[in-house]
A and B are shown apart, each in its own frame.
Chain A
Amino acid sequence: MQEGVTSGGHMLFGWSMLWVASILFGVTYLVIMSEKINRAIAALLGAGLMILTGVLNQEMAIRGVDFNVLGLLTGMMVLVAITRKTGVFQYVAIWSAKKVNARPMGILFMLSAVTAVFSAFLDNVTTVLLIVPVTLLITEELAIDPYPILAAEIFSSNIGGTATLIGDPPNIMIGSAANLSFNDFLANVAPIIPLIFLLTVVPIAFVWRKRLVTTEEHRRRVLEFREGEAISDPRLLKKCLFVLSLVILGFLFDRAFHLEPATVAMFGAALLLLLANVGRDAEEQSREVHEAFAEAEWVTLFFFVGLFIVVKGVQHAGLLDMLAQGVLDVTKGSLHVTSYAVLWVSAIASAIVDNIPFVAAMIPVIQDLGHALGGPQNLRIVWWSLSLGACLGGNGTLIGASANVVVAGFSERAGHPIRFIPFLKVSVVAMLTEVAIANAYLWLRFLH
């Protein structure tokens, strides 16, 4: 199952390839975790060294890069960059706050739900960047502490992201590597998400109910918001909604047409660029297209490229086979033990470190387990465990996911700092509850 295992072969200074690759992998991951050097730089340097030291050649390195993941991410980034300008996200947030008569408790629930739904389809960081300003505006008008609502939004973004193939990068990676479709995630992961959402948000609202109090006068101010005015470009909005619907349909039926998600997302992006720019002169088109592409998160994309190559290096050198063997030795090939272990280890690891590098390294390990666990059907359960663990684990600490860090940063600048330890007391309980629910779900649904 390995292409040309040469782990016994000697290279630089007579060191074995396994050692060189393992050291490069370890150092790269340590540097990424330390956050002293930008993660894209660290991953690309690690990738370059995998080639320079001869662990991989360039051709093998490029084969390690999952372009389906990159295409899907880039396509969605472009779609969001254009849609954002219409003001529709603001509209939905204000509309939802007014629907509950601007009562703080209701707003906490509604904005959390909006965050979860958006996160299921958009990048989590993008979602919170869109929701946090409106949240701060509303809490300012209500003269309440935004902390409970912001915390609920952090949890909701990670929970919502778990639900779909495109919700969170780990799912994109898992789906692409294991050939799991949008519908597979919808049928196997999404059903438990509403319960996890409710059992996270309701206790939060209850615990902080005393902070969620305002006056009639303040509520009236929010009720006077005219959400219709938030839509800045209705014509563009129609085009965006049209293309986004097509893209979602594309994800739902991609298997029927033998399409990969990256094709759907990139084609959608190209189509929306066309519709948004048709009738403009060449210079204006070039400016608009440049702007839309510039808003793609290149740091994330290059981070993925580097990471894929680094992981390919250790995989080729044989380290990940050894790890998989180690996992089997511990779990004795039991599907139950393996699934639960993957769920909990992923959750705890993802609470402490970025879930993207963790999942990138776990994927080849789990792929190696296929035979021992009784084939691809059983392996799917382990994939769901990895997805649920890695995505929900992000709720464990304030640094568990990029979205958490972004919300904390803006909250601090708005004069309401979210501190690591006080947040930890809530987030650990939330995360353990969520993963326990996921564990019960895996058991009832698949391992019963």
Chain B
Amino acid sequence: MSISEILRREPVTLAPHDTVARAAELLVEEHVLALPVVEEGKLVGVFGLHELVELLMPRAVRLMNQGLEGLTDLDFLADTLEDVRQRMDHVCGTEVGEHLERGSERTPLDPASSFTEALFLGYRLRRDLPVVEKETGRLAGMVSPWDVLERIRRS
């Protein structure tokens, strides 16, 4: 039993030069936590809600993920929803290829991976997971812990 039977084989994908605006639209429309970014059929990374939310924060805050330590909480900022919208406008035109989740071009999941492996990875990454053909590196489909749960309910 492998995840091949629950694979969503023709998922909605992004290209690296698609805009962040397009990605945001698709994330909302498809109601998924992450979209695979594909170039010539091959997975080049993942852009998801997490990356989008990161772009909506002040630039200094975004550096926190990279080792800066000085900000412990942001309550002191007088930000309004309008400020968040302005930052959104600011990044909307940029390409998703610049903002991929780090290391997300590598995934251990291929169609022969087990359910437990998919659950384990979903537990760690908290998003939808790309599944890649081992030999070619081509995107085979997407899978999420939801798909495993639904499969259990059906059996």
A binds B: yes
- Which residue in A137, A225, A229, A230 is a CB contact (below 8 Å) of B60? A137
- What's the nearest-Cβ distance from chain A to residue B99, in Å? 13
Q: Mark A58-100, 1 if CB is under 8 A from B, else 0.
A: 0000000000000000000000000011110110011000000
Contact B76 A227 (CB under 8 A): yes
Contact A410 B68 (CB under 8 A): yes
Given A89-B70, A140-B58, A133-B63 contact (CB < 8 Å): yes
Contact B59 A140 (CB under 8 A): yes
Q: Which residues of B contact A141 (CB under 8 A)?
A: 58
B61 in contact (CB, < 8 A): yes
CB contact list, A392-410 vs B, under 8 A: 410
A136 in contact (CB, < 8 A): yes
Given A133-B68, A134-B70, A90-B76 contact (CB < 8 Å): yes
- Rounded to whole angstroms, the CA-CA distance of A318 and B70 in the bound complex is 46
Given A225-B78, A226-B78, A414-B59 contact (CB < 8 Å): yes
Given A226-B78, A228-B76, A129-B59 contact (CB < 8 Å): no
- Which residue in B59, B61, B68, B75 is a CB contact (below 8 Å) of A226? B75
A17 in contact (CB, < 8 A): no
Contact A90 B70 (CB under 8 A): yes
- Rounded to whole angstroms, the CA-CA distance of A346 and B71 in the bound complex is 36
CB contact list, B17-61 vs A, under 8 A: 58-61
CB contact list, A77-135 vs B, under 8 A: 84-87, 89-90, 93-94, 129-135
Chain A residue nearest to B72 (CB atoms) is A87
- Rounded to whole angstroms, the CA-CA distance of A93 and B70 in the bound complex is 10
- Rounded to whole angstroms, the CA-CA distance of A93 and B71 in the bound complex is 11
- Which residue in A84, A89, A229, A414 is a CB contact (below 8 Å) of B63? A414
Given A129-B70, A232-B72, A225-B77 contact (CB < 8 Å): yes
Chain B residue nearest to A133 (CB atoms) is B70
Contact B60 A136 (CB under 8 A): yes
Given A132-B70, A133-B71, A137-B71, A226-B76 contact (CB < 8 Å): yes
- What's the nearest-Cβ distance from chain A to residue B86, in Å? 12
Q: Which residues of B contact A137 (CB under 8 A)?
A: 58, 60-61, 71, 77
A224 in contact (CB, < 8 A): yes
Contact B70 A130 (CB under 8 A): yes
Given A131-B70, A410-B68, A94-B76 contact (CB < 8 Å): yes
A425 in contact (CB, < 8 A): no
CB contact list, A181-239 vs B, under 8 A: 221, 224-230, 232
- What's the nearest-Cβ distance from chain A to residue B85, in Å? 15
- What's the nearest-Cβ distance from chain B to residue A92, in Å? 11
A279 in contact (CB, < 8 A): no
Chain A residue nearest to B73 (CB atoms) is A232
Q: Which residues of A contact B73 (CB under 8 A)?
A: 87, 229-230, 232
B136 in contact (CB, < 8 A): no
Given A136-B60, A136-B63, A413-B63, A129-B68 contact (CB < 8 Å): yes
Contact B59 A90 (CB under 8 A): no
- What's the nearest-Cβ distance from chain A to residue B89, in Å? 15
- Rounded to whole angstroms, the CA-CA distance of A221 and B67 in the bound complex is 26
- Rounded to whole angstroms, the CA-CA distance of A230 and B63 in the bound complex is 18
Q: Which residues of B contact A375 (CB under 8 A)?
A: none
- Rounded to whole angstroms, the CA-CA distance of A319 and B66 in the bound complex is 43
Q: Which residues of B contact A89 (CB under 8 A)?
A: 70
B10 in contact (CB, < 8 A): no
Given A89-B70, A90-B71, A410-B68, A133-B60 contact (CB < 8 Å): yes
A415 in contact (CB, < 8 A): yes
- Rounded to whole angstroms, the CA-CA distance of A228 and B67 in the bound complex is 24
Given A137-B58, A414-B63, A84-B69 contact (CB < 8 Å): yes
- Rounded to whole angstroms, the CA-CA distance of A410 and B59 in the bound complex is 11
- Rounded to whole angstroms, the CA-CA distance of A89 and B76 in the bound complex is 13
Q: Which residues of A contact B66 (CB under 8 A)?
A: 410, 413
B12 in contact (CB, < 8 A): no
Chain B residue nearest to A406 (CB atoms) is B67
A: residues with CB less than 8 A from B are 84-87, 89-90, 93-94, 129-137, 140-141, 221, 224-230, 232, 410, 413-415
B: residues with CB less than 8 A from A are 58-61, 63-64, 66-73, 75-78
Provide a sorted-by-A list of 22 A–B residue pairs whose CB atoms are within 8 angstroms.
A84-B69, A84-B72, A86-B72, A90-B70, A90-B71, A129-B67, A129-B69, A132-B68, A133-B60, A133-B61, A133-B64, A133-B69, A134-B71, A136-B60, A137-B60, A137-B77, A141-B58, A225-B76, A230-B75, A410-B67, A413-B66, A414-B63
A134-B70, A410-B68, A414-B59 known; 7 new pairs, CB 8 Å cut-off, are: A94-B76, A133-B69, A224-B78, A225-B78, A226-B78, A228-B76, A229-B73
